[in-house]
Amino acid sequence: MSFVDFMIIGAMKSGTTTLANMLSQHPDICFSRKKEPHFFSKTENWQLNIDDYRALYTPTEGKLCGEASTSYACYPEFNKTTYKSLYEFNPELKIIYVMRHPIDRMVSHYMHTYLRGYINSSFEEAVMHHPSYVNRTRYFTQIKPYLECFGPERVFLLTFEEFLSDKQAVLQRIASFLEIDYSRMSDFEDVHRNKSIGSSKKSIKIEQLRSARWTKQVRSLLPTTLKKNLYELLHRMTVRTLDEKPSVSENLNKVLWDLVMLDVLEIEKLMQRELVEWNIPRSSPAHLEMIDSKA
């Protein structure tokens, strides 16, 4: 059944698109035509629909197939046992998990949902009332089932910050992990990255409107030019932009670190190093509690 060799399941807004774009330039890698299929997290009875998933790939002989769906690390949202589905699909699957500075990831996640029109509240209100911002940043909680299921030798842990600081070294390590020839990698500097500041995103409201059954019926009766003009008008009416990142108060910053600190410390154990690139506040209650427990 298995025809996919690796998955990038990095946390949302942690650089998975950048990494996928870089790896896709390698001649021995074939990514799914749809960057984030979310097949195993959002498809009921995925075994019965596996041909639809297979159709997303057109590899030549000898190529490795991969995809990058962040929803595979969004526990407890979507399929709560995605890791089991992936193991059933391919027990030899290799997993790349990309993480980002926890607060930065939450801020970027918020900016994305705000620009898309999913949310109207401030950053502080959003993170306090919507668990997904914090849950998706509990990195150890997200990756632990994969480590237990596939084994640590098949899981590659990476922070986006170390990736940006030395792309060449990190890509060499990933090439070794995937068992591909690094020397065949294309220029890894000139790649696209998701950006939120100063940009706009397609409103979810437009997508919902376009997918509604009555809308499809009306659209079929309209001339192409009129449909295009209506779409552009709707886009102008709903588009949002952000000129700067939302600020995080000192108190909120402390609260958010306390919520994710135990996960961060467990990730440090797994990576066998301090995540100095995150400038972790070592005086947090969670960190002090762990120190006390070792005394």
Mean pLDDT estimate for the chain:
87
Average pLDDT over residues 204-210: 58
* pLDDT for the residue numbered 192: 47
Element (H, E) at 98: strand 94-99
Q: Would the pLDDT of 212 be above 70?
A: no
Per-residue pLDDT tens digits for 128-159? 999 999 999 999 999 999 999 999 999 999 99
Task: Enter the tokens of residue 234.
Answer: 């709707």
Q: Which segments of 38-81 does DSSP mark as H helices, in order?
A: 39-42, 50-54
For residue range 267-280, list pLDDT tens digits in order: 999 999 999 999 99
Residues with Cβ < 8 Å from 112, sequence gap 6 or more?
12, 13, 194, 196, 201
Kindly report, residue by residue over 220-237, the tens digit of the pLDDT.
667 778 666 666 665 555
Closest by alpha carbon to 260, among 281, 291, 276?
281
| pTM of the full structure | 0.83
